[in-house]
Amino acid sequence: MVLFASSSLAVLHFVIEKEPPKTEHVPVLLIAFVMSVFWISTIAGELLNCLEALAALLGLTVLAWGNSVGDLVADVAVAKAGQPAMAMAGCFAGPMFNMLVGLGTALVIQTSNVYPNAYELHFHVGIVTAFFFLLLRGMQLLPLGYLLGN
């Protein structure tokens, strides 16, 4: 119902208005921008809720690939710019940074929410597995750095 009403108003506005917005319409444009961000967030949340039944398959494939495309493009660009060592470091440092800062920030916020009390950390199997492989990768790269002289 809301989507139909919003679409109808958008089409009506498109048909009626023929001139670009004037400078006094800047607050309206800012509100429109905030609402578009809200709609994108809402639709993305609903899409993820609808795909919850396929969460394991999507988490291992589609969402993981989508999350890694930016790192892939950046690492390839750095390697083509003549910095292959920096590109290799970015392959490992980017996901490590995302995991450590993302989980660290979430844990700091949650700890501050229950401040007088201690926060009980319930380890999920996925988090323990991710940190295990993160530690394993770090232990593999440390001797490699010493062997290469870096």
| CA distances for 26 relative to 17, 34, 117, angstroms | 16, 12, 46
Residues 6+ apart with CB under 8 A from 29: 21
- Quote the pLDDT of residue 59: 61
* Average pLDDT of the chain to the nearest whole number: 78
Rounded Cα gap, residues 109 and 125, in angstroms: 21
Q: State which H helix or E strand residue 118 sits in.
A: none
Exposure class string for 2-25: b at 16+ Cβ within 10 A, else e: eeeeeeeeeeeeeeeeeeeeeeee
Rounded Cα gap, residues 75 and 87, in angstroms: 5
Domain ranges of the chain: 83-150
Given a cut of 60, whether residue 135 has pLDDT beyond it is: yes
Given a cut of 70, whether residue 87 has pLDDT beyond it is: yes
The percent of residues above 90 in pLDDT, for the chain, comes to 0
Residue 95 class from Cβ within 10 Å (0-12 exposed, 13-18 middle, 19+ buried)? middle
- Quote the pLDDT of residue 126: 78
How many Cα atoms sit within 13 Å of 13 on the Cβ side? 8
Q: Which residue pairs from 52-56 have beta carbons closer than 8 angstroms and sit at least 24 positions apart in sequence?
A: none
- Which two tokens mark 150? 């870096």
Rounded Cα gap, residues 22 and 109, in angstroms: 42
Tens digits of residue pLDDT in 88-132: 888 878 877 887 888 889 888 888 888 888 878 777 787 788 778
Mean pLDDT confidence for 10-19: 78
